[in-house]
């Protein structure tokens, strides 16, 4: 399982079918990289972006939870 796949698995439990597109956008906009090239070292930065962006679609506590889980991977 690649780094991206493990992040995607977590994101899917919160964003469902939108997880893939959501993560792709966070990588492009926040990390200036493609999702497929995501490395473990970028997880913390990604988690910060995810926390801010996910609040628009899910409750804040859930967004924080998702961010923590990604950061902990």
Partner 1 sequence: MKPTIRNKLLAGFSGVLLLMAIVAAIGIYSVFSLRKSAQDATRVGGQLNAVALEIQVHNLEAQRRIVGYLADVKKVGAKAARDTYLDEATFEIHEIETLADRAVKIAPDAEKREKFQKIVTSVAVYEKALNDVVASVESGKPESEVTAASDAYAKSADQLHDNAEDGEAVGRDAAQTSQEDIVRTSQRAVWLSVGVSILGLLLGMGMSFTLARAILNPVDHLKEVAESVSMGNLDVSVKRYSEDEIGDLADSFSRMVAAVKYFRLEMEMMESEAPKQGL
33 binds partner 1 (CB under 8 A): no
Q: Which of 5, 32, 41, 56 binds partner 1 (CB under 8 A)?
A: 56
- Only one of the segments 1-9, 27-35, 38-46, 51-59 lies at the binding site for partner 1 (rule: CB under 8 A); that segment is 51-59
SS3 string, 25-62, reads HHHHHHHCCCHHHCCHHHHHHHHHHHHHHHCCCCCHHH
Whole-angstrom distance, CA of residue 44 vs CA of residue 31: 11
Which region, judged by CB under 8 A, interacts with partner 1, from 2-10, 26-34, 40-48, 54-62?
Answer: 54-62
Q: State the DSSP code for 72.
A: T
Chain residues in the site for partner 1 (CB under 8 A): 12-19, 21-22, 56-59, 62
């Amino acid at each position: 399982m690649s780094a991206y796949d493990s992040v995607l698995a977590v994101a899917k439990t919160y964003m469902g079918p939108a997880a893939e597109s959501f993560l792709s956008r966070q990588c492009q906009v926040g990390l200036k990289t493609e999702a497929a090239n995501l490395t473990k070292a970028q997880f913390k930065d990604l988690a910060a972006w995810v926390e801010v962006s996910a609040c628009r679609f899910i409750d804040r506590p859930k967004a924080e939870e998702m961010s923590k889980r990604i950061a902990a991977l």
